[in-house]
Amino acid sequence: MQDIGIGLVGGGYMGKAHAVAYSAVGAVFAPRLRPRLEMVAASSVESAERYRAAFGFRRAAQDWQALVADPAVDAVVIASPQATHRAIAEAAFALGKPVFCEKPLGASLEDAEALCAAAEASGVVNMIGFNYVRTPATQYARRLIAEGVIGDVTWFRGEHTEDFLADPEAPATWRTDGEANGTMGDLAPHMINAAQALLGPVESVMADIEIVHESRGDTPVTNDDQAHMLCRFAGGAMGHMFFSRIATGRKMGYIYEVNGTRGAIRFNQEDQNSLWLYKAEGPEAERGFRQILIGPAHPDYLAFCQGPGHGTGYQDQIIIEARDFLEAIADGANRWPSFKAGLDVAHVLDAARKSHSNGRWQPVVHT
Amino acid sequence: MQDIGIGLVGGGYMGKAHAVAYSAVGAVFAPRLRPRLEMVAASSVESAERYRAAFGFRRAAQDWQALVADPAVDAVVIASPQATHRAIAEAAFALGKPVFCEKPLGASLEDAEALCAAAEASGVVNMIGFNYVRTPATQYARRLIAEGVIGDVTWFRGEHTEDFLADPEAPATWRTDGEANGTMGDLAPHMINAAQALLGPVESVMADIEIVHESRGDTPVTNDDQAHMLCRFAGGAMGHMFFSRIATGRKMGYIYEVNGTRGAIRFNQEDQNSLWLYKAEGPEAERGFRQILIGPAHPDYLAFCQGPGHGTGYQDQIIIEARDFLEAIADGANRWPSFKAGLDVAHVLDAARKSHSNGRWQPVVHT
Amino acid sequence: MQDIGIGLVGGGYMGKAHAVAYSAVGAVFAPRLRPRLEMVAASSVESAERYRAAFGFRRAAQDWQALVADPAVDAVVIASPQATHRAIAEAAFALGKPVFCEKPLGASLEDAEALCAAAEASGVVNMIGFNYVRTPATQYARRLIAEGVIGDVTWFRGEHTEDFLADPEAPATWRTDGEANGTMGDLAPHMINAAQALLGPVESVMADIEIVHESRGDTPVTNDDQAHMLCRFAGGAMGHMFFSRIATGRKMGYIYEVNGTRGAIRFNQEDQNSLWLYKAEGPEAERGFRQILIGPAHPDYLAFCQGPGHGTGYQDQIIIEARDFLEAIADGANRWPSFKAGLDVAHVLDAARKSHSNGRWQPVVHT
Amino acid sequence: MQDIGIGLVGGGYMGKAHAVAYSAVGAVFAPRLRPRLEMVAASSVESAERYRAAFGFRRAAQDWQALVADPAVDAVVIASPQATHRAIAEAAFALGKPVFCEKPLGASLEDAEALCAAAEASGVVNMIGFNYVRTPATQYARRLIAEGVIGDVTWFRGEHTEDFLADPEAPATWRTDGEANGTMGDLAPHMINAAQALLGPVESVMADIEIVHESRGDTPVTNDDQAHMLCRFAGGAMGHMFFSRIATGRKMGYIYEVNGTRGAIRFNQEDQNSLWLYKAEGPEAERGFRQILIGPAHPDYLAFCQGPGHGTGYQDQIIIEARDFLEAIADGANRWPSFKAGLDVAHVLDAARKSHSNGRWQPVVHT
Ligand SMILES: NC(=O)C1=CN([C@@H]2O[C@H](COP(=O)(O)OP(=O)(O)OC[C@H]3O[C@@H](n4cnc5c(N)ncnc54)[C@H](O)[C@@H]3O)[C@@H](O)[C@H]2O)C=CC1
Ligand SMILES: NC(=O)C1=CN([C@@H]2O[C@H](COP(=O)(O)OP(=O)(O)OC[C@H]3O[C@@H](n4cnc5c(N)ncnc54)[C@H](O)[C@@H]3O)[C@@H](O)[C@H]2O)C=CC1
Ligand SMILES: NC(=O)C1=CN([C@@H]2O[C@H](COP(=O)(O)OP(=O)(O)OC[C@H]3O[C@@H](n4cnc5c(N)ncnc54)[C@H](O)[C@@H]3O)[C@@H](O)[C@H]2O)C=CC1
Ligand SMILES: NC(=O)C1=CN([C@@H]2O[C@H](COP(=O)(O)OP(=O)(O)OC[C@H]3O[C@@H](n4cnc5c(N)ncnc54)[C@H](O)[C@@H]3O)[C@@H](O)[C@H]2O)C=CC1
C-alpha cells in the first residue's frame, strides 16, 4: 500500500465532492495507491484554509500555482471554474503530474483542443469529470448495448434537465453570464458524453438554442436557458438531445432512452438505482419493461453494499471516479474518459452552435 | 328523444370502435339525438353483412355510395382507409349529411384542403377523428394550460411511439407502403393535433424522417419507420416531436411533457388515467410531480363511473367523440376538432416533409 | 342471433353501468343472445321512468315485482341495495328466470345462504357481480398463477382502499349506517373474491375491525371505516387483507401482491392496464419486475381494441360481465362467479367478524 | 478539531460500511470530533489484519477484548454477530467508553434488557444501528407526521422484504439457523423501529410467523422465513407489518404507508430518494400523491450534494449515523436511537412471538 499526495483546486460544490471521495475511496475500493489529502487551493488563502479544516487536508495552499508546484502534491484534481481549467492543467502537465479535471474541458473548444494536446504531449495520466456515466446502472446499460442485448440501436433520446433557473424572478448570477456557463456549456456535456458512451460518435447535428428569459432584474442574460438538437450517429441511429435549466419540476433529469431492434433501455438519474430493460423475447403476453434494481450483479456496486436494491448515490459516483483516476495512475495509463472524451464533447457542442447560427445540419469533427 | 340514422363505412379496427360507441353513447351520455345503427358498408357486400350481424346494424350496404345516398342514413361515419375519405365525405356533403371522418383528413395535403373546402362550402357539421385529445386526462391538461396553472409554456415534448413493426423480420404489408401509411401519415397526426390543442399553432419545423428497415422479405418499404422534428410554436415555446412504429417496448407511447414557468405536466397514454402535475408553489420541500388519478372532478369522466380512479379506456374516448358529433349535429354547429383541425395537422406534416428534403427550417402554413 | 329481454332493477351507480354494458355488449362481443333493454325498475315509478329515458329502455316498471313478473323480461339484473337482493332474486328464481345480482350476495350471511340455496334449487343460471376479477390484467394474473409461472404461492397481500369518507367532516349518510354498508360489507367482498380466485380457499382468519370516526355531525356511525385480517389459505400460503374507506389519497386501491417460489405478481386497479411480473429466471443482473401493458395477447382485451397498451376501463369490465352472463344463459350452465362465489365470500366475512369479537383465529366455513 | 480513536469490531458487511463511514464523515459533516481509524478486530487476527489493510486502520487487534481495552481506542463500534454484542458492549461500558452497536440489541430480549441496563448504569453514550430511519426521506417523513401535515394518523403499513432465501434450492447457512438470525431477528427490527419512530409506541400485536421451507438440502431450517402482525398503536392507529426473506423480486422492500385524516405518505427504500405525499387540500381535481425528490430542502441531504434529486445511497445513511454518534460523544449526551430504542424493538418482537404461540393479541411491554 503506497500513498499518493492529492492536491485539490476548489472547495465548492465539486471540490467538496472530491474531498469526500478521496477520503472514502481507500476503504471502499482498497486501490493500490492510497490518497493522502495533502493540499487544497481556492480563490483566496482564507477560503483554502476553511476548506482544509472542514475536509481534513494537511495544508492550505497560497494559490493553485503553489499547490501544483508543491513537491508533496503528486496528482492534481481541478474543481475550480471552467476558465481556470486550462492554466492549472497545463502547469501540472509541465511538471509531469497527473491531472483530473472537472467537466467541461476548459471554457471553449480552443481550451479543449489545447488541453488535449498538452495532455498527449506530456504523456501523463489525465481524466475528465464525467461522473454520471459511472453510476452502476449506466455502466450496465453501456455493457448491455455493447453486448447486443437490445440488438441494433435505432434511436437515442437524451436529456439533462434541471429547474434551478425556472423561476423567471430568480436573480442574475455568474451562471446567467457567459457561454461556458449556459445550459450548453454546463449541463449538455454530461449527456453528450453519455450518448457517445452508449452509442458511439455523433456524426451530425441540427440544433436550436434559446435564451428564454432575456433579463433577470435589470441584468441581461447572456447565455442559453434551453437547447436541443436532432442527431445522426455514426453507427446509423437517429437521436435527440435536450438540455434545460428551466425545466420546472426536474431536479436531475439525466434521462435517456435507447431503442434497439431487439430491446430497449430507459434510465432516469432521479431514480439512479433502477434500469429499465425491455427484451423482445419470450411470449408476447409476458413482455414488458422490467425495473432492474441495481445490486452486486452490476458494475461497481458491491464495494458499496452487499445487498441489492440498497442503492448508491451521487457521492458514490465520485468515489468510483477517484478509484479510476488512482488506478490509472498506478497503471501509468489512461482510463476512459480521458481529456480526449472531453474534446469529443466539445466538438459536438461546437457543431450544435454552428448549426443553430446557420439553420442547417452540421457535421461533427472527429479527432 | 329523437333518433338519428348512422351510416358507418368500414368495419375494421376503427369501424368496430365506432359501432360500439354508437351502441353505448345513448346510455352513457343521454345525448339529445339517439343513434340508430342503420347501415354499414365495407369493401365487399359480404364483409358488410358480416359486420352488420356482429355489430347489430339494421342493414348492410352494397357499397359506400349506396350508404351515403340512403334516405335512412342521416349522418356518415368514415372508418375506411385514408384513400377513400375524400370521395365519401364529398358525396355526403353534397347531400347535406354531417360527416365524421377518421384521421388523417384524406391521403394527402391536397385531400385535406379539398375536404376542408367542401365541408365549409356545404355548411354541414363535420368532425375529424382525433380521439386521444378526448381522454379525460388530456382534456384536463388542456384546461390547466389554458387557465395558466403552469404559467407561460416554454417547452413541449411529444411522441407517438409503438412497436408493431419493431421486429426487422416482420413482413411487408400495406402499412409498409405509401406515404399516407408511414409513421408520419399514420401516427404523427394524433400527437401533432395534441400539440396544437395544448399549445396552439406550430410556427416552423425542422424534421428528420427515416426508413430504418429498407426492405422486409424481398419487398421494399416505401414509407417511414420513424421521424422527429424540432418545433417553434407561435406562442413562443420550443418543442420536439417524435414518431415511431419501431420503438421496441412502446405499445401506446402517446406521451407529452409541457414545461411552464410555474409548473409542468406529464402524460403517457399507456397510463391514461393519471395526469402528472408539478406546481412551483408551497414550500420547496413539499414540491413534486403529483399523480392525479382521473375521476368525476375531471372532464367527461363522471358519465362512465362515479368512483375516481376506476378508469376509462380506449373505447370510452370513442364514446365521448360520438357524443360530441351527435351534439354538434343537434346544435347544427361544429365542435372541435372539425375538418379544419385535420388540415392544421396536414400543414405541419407538409412542412416537416419539406424541411427534411431541404435540410432547413420550414414555416408552417396557417389557414 | 336471438334476442333476450333484460329487466334491470336499479338505475344508480351500478344500474347505469349495467345499462351501458347491455347496450354495448352486442357490438363488442357478438354474443349468441343479443340483449334487448326491456324494462327498468327503481325505488319509484318516476325514477324508473327517468332511467328508462336516459338509458334507452323500452319500458319503466311499476316496481321490481312487476318487472320480474313481466313476460318480456327473460333475465333479471339486480343493481339495487343489498337489502333488496334476496327478495328479488327469489322471485325471479321462482319463475325460472336467470339472475345476475350485484355484490354482496344479500345483506347478511343468512341472505347469502338462502340465495345460494334458492339458486341451486331453481337450477337456473345465476351470477354475482364481482367485476374486478374480470379486468384483463387480473384474468391474466389468475392464469399465470394457475399455470405455475410464479411457482408455489407463499404470500398474498390484498387491499381495497378508497378515501370517500376520509374527511372526518364528511356527513353521515346511509353508507355510515348498518353492517352491510360498512367497509367489510361494501369493499371487502371484491378483494376477498380476488384472493379466492387467485389462491383458492381461505382456511382461517384473524381480524381487526374499526370505526375510526365514531360520529359524523351528531349522527353516530354504526359501521366500520377500516378492517384488516391475517389469513391462512388452504393451499398453504399466508396472507393479509386490508379494507378502508378512509385511506386518504387512495381512489381505487384494489391492490394485490402475490409472492411465489419462482416469481411474483403485483397489481393496482388504479393502473388497471399494467400487470407487474417478476420471474426468478435468466441472469440475476437482468431480473426485475416487468410492467406488462395489457393488450390483445391477454384475456378479453382484443374485443375492445386491436392495439396493445390502449387500455380498457371500468365500464369494460361490466361489458365482459354481461357477456359472461349472456353466454351462461345461452349455455344453460353457470359461469364463474355464480352465487356460490358470493357465499364463499360471505363465509370469510363472517369468520372475520367472529374473530374480531373473540380475539382468536377463526376457521372459515366451506360449503 | 479534536480527534477520537475508533475501534471497530467486525469487518464484514457492516464492518466495512462503518469503516467507510468513519473515513468519510469528517469531510462530509465536519463534526467536532474527527475519527481516527485506530484499530479493527475480527474473528481471527488474520482477518483483522486483512481488514486493517483494506480499510486503512492503524492497527489490527488480537481480539475484541484487546481492542476494547486499548488506550488509543476511545469509542467502540460493534459490527460483529448478534451473539457477541452483549459481552463487547458491557466490557466497553465498564471502561467508560461510548458504544455504537449494530442492530439488533443482542441475541435475545434478555441481552437487550441487560445491555440497556448496563448502558444506563455506565452513563456513557450509546447508540443502536437503525440506519434506515436516517435516510433523508424518512427523516423528513417523520417530521411531516410530527408536524401534523397528514393530520391524525389512522393507519400504518410497513414491510421489510427481501428475497435472498426465496429460492427453495438455496442451501442452509448460519442465516437459516437460530431465532436471532430469522426474519424476525434480522429484518423486522428495522421496520419496527421505523413504525415506532413515525407513529410512537406499539400497544399490542397479533402475529403469525412461519418457516416456509422446512429444510434446505438435508439441513433443517430452525428460524422463520416470513412473519406478519396486526398492530394497535398507543396513539390510536391500526397497522400491519410484514417481514420476509423469501419475497421473490423484492431486494430492499423497506416500505411504509401512513394514512392520516388530512394526508398520506408512502415510501420504498428501493427508491430511497423519493417520498410520496398526498395532501387533502386544494381543488379535488388537482390532488394526487406527489413524488418529492429529496434535496437540500430535506434533512441531512445538503452535506452530500448541493443539487436536489442527485440522490444519496445506502452508505450515506451510515455516514449520517457516524456523525450522530460522534456528535453525541462530543455532547456527552445520547442522541436517538440509543440502546433504549433497541429494547423497545425487542419488546415488540417478544410480544409477537408470544402472540404467535398462544394465538391471541399480546400487549407490548413499555419501559
Ligand atoms: N461533475 C459534476 O457533476 C459537476 C461539475 N461541475 C464543474 O466543477 C467545476 C467547479 O464548479 P462548482 O464546484 O460548481 O463551483 P463552485 O463555485 O461551487 O466552486 C468553485 C471553487 O473554485 C474555487 N476557485 C475559483 N477560482 C479559483 C482560482 N483562480 N484558483 C483556485 N480556486 C479557485 C473557489 O474558491 C471555489 O472553491 C466547474 O468546472 C463545473 O463545471 C460543477 C457541478 C457539478
Ligand atoms: N383514431 C384512431 O385511433 C385510429 C384511426 N385509424 C384510421 O381509421 C381508418 C381505418 O383504419 P382501420 O380501421 O385501422 O383499417 P382496417 O383495415 O382495420 O379497416 C378498414 C375498413 O374499411 C373497409 N373498406 C376498405 N375500402 C373500402 C371501400 N372502398 N368502401 C367501403 N369500405 C371500405 C374495409 O372493409 C374495412 O372494414 C384509417 O383512416 C385510419 O387512419 C386507424 C386506427 C386507429
Ligand atoms: N360491482 C361494483 O363495483 C359495485 C357494486 N355495487 C353494488 O350495487 C348495488 C347498488 O349500489 P349502487 O348502484 O351504488 O346504489 P345507488 O344508490 O346508486 O342505486 C341504487 C338503485 O336502486 C334503486 N332501488 C332502491 N330500492 C329499490 C327497490 N326497493 N326496488 C327497486 N329499486 C330500488 C334506486 O332507485 C337506485 O336506482 C349494491 O348492492 C352495491 O353493493 C355498488 C357500487 C359498485
Ligand atoms: N444495519 C444494517 O443495515 C445491517 C446490520 N447488520 C448487523 O450487523 C452485524 C454484523 O452483521 P454482518 O456484517 O452482516 O456480518 P458478517 O458476517 O458480514 O461480518 C461479521 C464480522 O464479525 C466478525 N466477528 C465474528 N465473531 C467475532 C468475534 N468473536 N470477535 C470479533 N469479531 C468477530 C467477523 O470476523 C466478521 O468480520 C449483525 O449484528 C447484523 O445484524 C447486518 C447487515 C445489515
pLDDT digits 0-9 by tens, D201-225: 999 999 999 999 999 999 999 999 9
User: What's the pLDDT tens digit per position in B320-365?
Assistant: 999 999 999 999 999 999 999 999 999 999 999 999 999 999 999 9
Q: Tell me the nearest-neighbour CA distance from A251 into chain D, angstroms.
A: 5
Question: Does C277 sit within 8 Å of A288, measured CB to CB?
Answer: yes
- CATH architecture, range C136-312+345-358: 2-Layer Sandwich (3.30)
CATH fold for the domain made of D136-308+345-358:
Dihydrodipicolinate Reductase; domain 2 (3.30.360)
Q: Measuring CA to CA, how many Å separate B7 from each of A136, B29, B74, B78, B126?
A: 59, 20, 7, 9, 14
Tally B–C CB contacts below 8 A: 145
C-alpha cell read off for D367: 419501559
CATH class held by domain A133-333+345-358: alpha beta
Q: What whole-number distance in Å separates Cα of residue B306 and Cα of residue B316?
A: 15
Q: What whole-number distance in Å separates Cα of residue B161 and Cα of residue B178?
A: 19
What is the A235 CA–ligand 2 centroid distance (Å)? 37
Asked if C86 and C66 touch (Cβ cutoff 8 Å), the reply is no
Q: Tell me the nearest-neighbour CA distance from C293 into chain A, angstroms.
A: 7
CA proximity to B29, closest of B17, B19, B37, B21: B21
Q: What whole-number distance in Å separates Cα of residue D79 and Cα of residue D22?
A: 13
Q: What whole-number distance in Å separates Cα of residue A316 and Cα of residue D13?
A: 17
Identify the pLDDT of residue B68.
98
Of residues C226, C230, C288, nearest to D208 (C-beta): C230
Question: Does position A1 have pLDDT exceeding 80, yes or no?
Answer: no
Please report, for chain A, the start and end positions of each structural domain, with discontinuous segments joined by +: 2-132, 133-333+345-358
Q: Any chain A CB within 8 A of the CB of D315? A: yes
Q: Measuring CA to CA, how many Å separate D238 from each of B234, B343, C210, C216, D365?
A: 55, 59, 8, 20, 18
Question: Does D360 sit within 8 Å of C155, measured CB to CB?
Answer: no
Question: Does B280 sit within 8 Å of A167, measured CB to CB?
Answer: yes
Q: What is the mean pLDDT of chain B?
A: 97
User: What's the pLDDT tens digit per position in A12-41?
Assistant: 999 999 999 999 999 999 999 999 999 999
- Sort out which chain D residues have CB atoms less than 8 A from A293's CB and list them: 251-252, 270
What is the D16 CA–ligand 4 centroid distance (Å)? 10
Residues D135-160: what's their mean pLDDT?
A: 98
Q: Any chain A CB within 8 A of the CB of D288? A: no
Question: Does position D45 have pLDDT exceeding 80, yes or no?
Answer: yes
User: What's the pLDDT tens digit per position in B110-168?
Assistant: 999 999 999 999 999 999 999 999 999 999 999 999 999 999 999 999 999 999 999 99
Asked if C161 and C248 touch (Cβ cutoff 8 Å), the reply is no
Tally C–D CB contacts below 8 A: 115
Per-residue DSSP letter, C66:
H
B20, B43, B317, best to mutate for ligand 2 pocket (most atoms within 8 Å of CB)? B43
What is the C20 CA–ligand 2 centroid distance (Å)? 26
CA proximity to D77, closest of D347, D328, D333: D328
- Most C CBs within 10 A among B18, B37, B273, B320, hence the mutation to make, goes to B273
Which ipTM did the prediction report? 0.98
Question: Does B298 sit within 8 Å of D285, measured CB to CB?
Answer: yes
- Sort out which chain B residues have CB atoms less than 8 A from C316's CB and list them: 313, 315
Q: Tell me the nearest-neighbour CA distance from A361 into chain B, angstroms.
A: 7
**Positions of E strands within chain C:** 2-9, 33-41, 59-60, 75-78, 99-102, 126-129, 153-161, 202-210, 215-216, 219-220, 226-233, 238-244, 253-260, 263-268, 274-279, 289-293, 362-363
The model's confidence at residue C366, banded by pLDDT at 50, 70 and 90, is confident
User: What's the pLDDT tens digit per position in B250-298?
Assistant: 999 999 999 999 999 999 999 999 999 999 999 999 999 999 999 999 9
Question: Does position C242 have pLDDT exceeding 90, yes or no?
Answer: yes
What is the D80 CA–ligand 4 centroid distance (Å)? 3
Per-residue DSSP letter, D361:
-
Q: Identify the residue whose C-alpha is closest to ligand 4 atom 4.
A: D14
Q: What whole-number distance in Å separates Cα of residue A320 and Cα of residue A29?
A: 8
Identify the pLDDT of residue C275.
98
Q: Which residues line ligand 1 (CB under 6 A)?
A: A 9-15, 41-43, 47, 64, 79-82, 84, 102-103, 129, 131, 186
Of residues A277, A286, A298, nearest to C277 (C-beta): A286
C8, C9, C14, C43, best to mutate for ligand 3 pocket (most atoms within 8 Å of CB)? C14
The model's confidence at residue A366, banded by pLDDT at 50, 70 and 90, is confident
User: What's the pLDDT tens digit per position in C181-194?
Assistant: 999 999 999 999 99
**Positions of E strands within chain D:** 2-9, 33-41, 59-60, 75-78, 99-102, 126-129, 153-161, 202-210, 215-216, 219-220, 226-233, 238-244, 253-260, 263-268, 274-279, 289-293, 362-363
Identify the pLDDT of residue D1.
59
Q: Measuring CA to CA, how many Å separate B181 from each of B149, B171, B186, C50?
A: 38, 15, 5, 47
For chain C, the chains sharing at least 3 beta-carbon pairs closer than 8 angstroms are A, B, D
Residues A262-269: what's their mean pLDDT?
A: 98
DSSP SS3 for C292: strand
Identify the pLDDT of residue D231.
98
What residues does B99 pair with on adjacent strands? B76, B126
Question: Does A242 sit within 8 Å of B240, measured CB to CB?
Answer: yes
Identify the pLDDT of residue B289.
98
Residues A268-283: what's their mean pLDDT?
A: 98
DSSP SS3 for D203: strand
Residues C248-264: what's their mean pLDDT?
A: 98
Q: Angle formed by the axes of helices A13-29 and A314-331, to 10°? A: 70
Q: What whole-number distance in Å separates Cα of residue D79 and Cα of residue D48?
A: 13
For the CA atoms of B131, B137, B142, B147, the dihedral, rounded to the nearest 10 degrees, stands at 160
Residue B251: enclosing H or E segment and its boundaries? none
What is the B12 CA–ligand 2 centroid distance (Å)? 6
DSSP SS3 for C212: coil
Q: What whole-number distance in Å separates Cα of residue D52 and Cα of residue D30?
A: 24
Would the CA dihedral through D12, D13, D14, D15 be positive or negative? positive
HSE-up of B136 (CA within 13 Å, CB side)? 28
User: What's the pLDDT tens digit per position in C312-324?
Assistant: 999 999 999 999 9
What residues does A33 pair with on adjacent strands? A2
Identify the pLDDT of residue B160.
98
Q: Which atom of ligand 2 has the smallest separation from the CA of B42?
A: 32
Q: State how beta strands B2-9 and B33-41 pair.
A: parallel
User: What's the pLDDT tens digit per position in B211-235?
Assistant: 999 999 999 999 999 999 999 999 9
Start-to-end C-alpha separation, chain C: 38
Question: Does position B1 have pLDDT exceeding 70, yes or no?
Answer: no
The model's confidence at residue B366, banded by pLDDT at 50, 70 and 90, is confident
Domain C2-132 has CATH 3.40.640.10: no
